[in-house]
Amino acid sequence: MSQNTISFAVLPIDDFTGQTSNIKLRILVEKDGYLYNNPLILNNNGYYLFYDKVNSFDNNDSLNSINYTIRIAESDEYFPIEETFNIKDTKESNNKFETNPIIIITLLPKPSYQFPLNATLVRGTVKLTNTLKKTSEKINTDSIDKKFSKLNLLPSNIKITLKEKDIFTFTTKKGEFVFYFNRTRKKHIIEKEQADPNLPKKKFIRMNEIIDNMKERSNFTLIIEDPHYERFERIFDGVQESKVNILQEIFLTQK
Q: What is the pLDDT of residues 86-102, one digit of tens each?
A: 888 888 898 888 889 99
70 exposure class (CB count in 10 Å sphere: 0-12, 13-18, 19+)? buried
Classify 32 in phi/psi space as left (phi over 0), alpha (psi -120 to 50) or beta: left
Residue 12: name the closest of 45, 35, 39 by CA: 45
Report, as an integer, the average pLDDT of 171-177. 91
Are the folds of 3-107 and 120-252 the same?
A: yes
Q: Which residues pair with 54 in a beta bridge?
A: 4
Question: Edge to edge, what strands does the sheet with 220-226 contain?
Answer: 167-170, 159-162, 220-226, 229-236
* Domain boundaries of the chain, sorted by first residue: 3-107, 120-252
Q: Supply the CATH classification number for the domain 3-107.
A: 2.60.40
* 177 Cβ contact list (under 8 Å, min separation 6): 111, 123, 124, 125, 126, 160, 169, 170, 171
Name which of 89-93, 111-115, 127-131, 245-249 the model is least confident about: 127-131
Instruction: Quickly state the pLDDT bin for 152 (edges 50, 70, 90).
Output: very low
d(CA 59, CA 141): 35
Name which of 61-75, 111-125, 143-157 the model is least confident about: 143-157
Report, as an integer, the average pLDDT of 6-29. 93
DSSP 8-state assignment for residue 92: H
Please check whether the domain covering 120-252 is classified as CATH 2.30.31.70. Answer: no
Highest mean pLDDT among 16-25, 82-91, 125-134: 16-25
DSSP strand pairing (67-72 vs 27-31): antiparallel
User: Percent of the chain at pLDDT above 90?
Assistant: 51
Report, as an integer, the average pLDDT of 182-199. 86
pLDDT number for residue 177:
95
